[in-house]
């Protein structure tokens, strides 16, 4: 089991360092894994001029799974599009064919107060967002900015094929079987033909899963319902663009995005695992970032790419215990709790394993 560690930018190195300690702890305990580090994003641009250098490409292609911190930072915002850190992330997704982005949105009971929503609306929240990650307007051609009739126009192409929709629908239905058995597919079929096809194919795929209840929702309504009554959802499946927006909205319902991991998988369960939060350059290097989302991402890695359910649960239980014991980084701190830094939070997790 070879794991590529891509710490990335901003707080990336600090949080990945804590996740690496957890992995090394499990290795010392007998789990056979090999770790190798590489550069992605802004740090890669600084070192090589490219956000996704050839050495990193080789590394992630050889690896069985990738653990990523976060990429991006103000100083890279003015680089040409193809040199920006985000481009590294998009290229890695496409290169490894990581079409299935799984984002669990869970509100830990200990952190219920962190939400800006009323406790009764979010207590017990447990949604899985399944976002298609290698298609849609993110990658569609043609795209660009060009001169037409004497002025510039900017354009992009939203596009999905039947097979792209079908494979992500299968992922969602299968995930629902292991949960509450409900899938809500989100589209904008009343306006966009592309998402009309989405709805048709998801509906057709549902026939193979008579035990799963499928509903459809328009994206504008979904954005509302997540605020109005998020607990109505079990699994949400949607395209790349709508998934980007709705998954960020949903994660913020918990008030603690420093806690939420994600997995991006290909059809052989090779995956890239990363916290859903960003690189937070403003707090980088200060030992205050929350490493738990990254640590929980390693649990997803062990479960999805390596089928190591026991090791995965062990990490997740350690994180729950740490919360029960009152350890809090600044982002989730409340009075009465023990405020700790990034490294100390890593210590606390290890102590509970």
Is 138 marked active-site? yes
Q: Is 200 annotated as a binding residue?
A: no
Q: Is 21 annotated as a binding residue?
A: no
Residue matched to tokens 């980007």: 244
The active-site residue, picked from 9, 76, 136, 138, is: 138
Residue 220 makes contact with ligand IPM by CB under 6 A: yes
How many Å apart are CA 147 and CA 324, to the nearest integer? 59
Q: To the nearest whole angstrom, how small is the minimum distance from the Cβ of residue 295 to its own copies? A: 22
Is 267 marked active-site? no
The active-site residue, picked from 187, 188, 270, 327, is: 188
| CB-CB neighbours of 338 under 10 Å | 12
The active-site residue, picked from 29, 46, 77, 220, is: 220
> Nearer Cβ to ligand IPM, position 250 or 340?
250
Q: How many residues does the chain have?
A: 353
How many Å apart are CA 16 and CA 234, to the nearest integer? 30
The active-site residue, picked from 64, 244, 321, 347, is: 244
Three-state DSSP at 13 gives helix
Task: Return phi, psi of residue 311, to 5°.
Answer: -65, -40
Is 188 marked active-site? yes
**Going residue by residue from 296 to 325, which x/- string records binding to ligand IPM, judged by CB under 6 A?**
------------------------------
Q: Which does 81 bind (CB under 5 to 8 A by kind): its own copies, ligand IPM, none?
A: its own copies
Identify which of 98, 87, 92 has the alpha carbon closest to the alpha carbon of residue 134. 98
Judged by CB under 8 A, the residue of 30, 49, 82, 148 near its own copies is: 148
Q: Is 307 annotated as a binding residue?
A: no
Identify which of 350, 341, 298 has the alpha carbon closest to the alpha carbon of residue 321. 350
Q: Is 221 annotated as a binding residue?
A: no
Restricted to residues 108-127, the positions that interact with its own copies (CB under 8 A) are 116-118, 121
How many Å apart are CA 169 and CA 92, to the nearest integer? 22
Instruction: Give the containing element (helix H, strand E) for 246.
Output: helix 240-253
Are 312 and 303 spatial neighbours (Cβ–Cβ below 8 Å)? yes
Are 268 and 61 spatial neighbours (Cβ–Cβ below 8 Å)? no
In the complex, the residues that contact its own copies under the rule CB under 8 A are 81, 84, 86, 90, 116-118, 121, 137-138, 140, 143-145, 148, 151-163, 188, 190-198, 219-221, 223-229, 241-242, 244-249, 251-253, 255, 257
In the complex, the residues that contact ligand IPM under the rule CB under 6 A are 86, 89-90, 190-191, 220, 244
- Tell me which residues are annotated as active site: 138, 188, 220, 244, 248
């Amino acid at each position: 089991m070879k794991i590529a560690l891509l710490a990335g930018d901003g707080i990336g190195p600090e949080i990945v360092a804590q996740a690496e300690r957890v992995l090394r702890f499990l290795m010392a305990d007998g789990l056979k894994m090999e770790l190798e580090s590489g550069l992605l994003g802004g740090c890669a641009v600084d070192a090589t001029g490219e956000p996704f250098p050839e050495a990193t490409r080789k590394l992630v292609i050889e690896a069985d799974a990738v653990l990523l911190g976060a990429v991006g930072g103000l100083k890279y915002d003015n680089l040409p599009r193809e040199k920006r850190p985000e481009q590294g992330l998009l290229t890695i997704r496409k290169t490894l064919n990581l079409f299935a982005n799984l984002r669990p949105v869970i509100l830990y009971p200990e952190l219920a107060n962190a939400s800006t929503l009323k406790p009764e609306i979010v207590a017990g929240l447990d949604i899985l967002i399944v976002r298609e990650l290698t298609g849609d307007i993110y990658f569609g051609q043609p795209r660009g900015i060009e001169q037409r009739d004497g002025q510039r126009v900017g354009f992009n192409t939203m596009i999905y094929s039947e097979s792209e929709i079908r494979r992500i629908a299968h992922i969602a239905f299968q995930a629902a079987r292991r949960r509450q058995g409900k899938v809500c597919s989100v589209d904008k079929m009343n306006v966009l033909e592309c998402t009309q096809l989405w709805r048709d194919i998801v509906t057709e795929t549902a026939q193979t899963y008579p035990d799963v209840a499928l509903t459809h929702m328009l994206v504008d309504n979904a954005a509302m319902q997540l605020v109005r009554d998020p607990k109505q959802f079990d699994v949400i499946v949607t395209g790349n663009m709508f998934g980007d927006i709705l998954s960020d909205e949903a994660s913020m319902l918990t008030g603690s995005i420093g806690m939420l991991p994600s997995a991006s998988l290909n059809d052989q369960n090779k995956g890239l695992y990363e916290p859903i939060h960003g690189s937070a350059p403003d707090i980088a290097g200060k030992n205050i970032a929350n490493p738990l989302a990254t640590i929980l991402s390693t649990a997803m890695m062990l479960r999805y790419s390596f089928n190591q359910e026991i090791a995965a649960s062990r990490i997740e239980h350690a994180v729950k215990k740490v919360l029960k014991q009152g350890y809090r980084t600044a982002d989730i701190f409340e009075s009465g709790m023990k405020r700790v830094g990034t490294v100390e939070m890593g210590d606390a997790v290890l102590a509970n394993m």
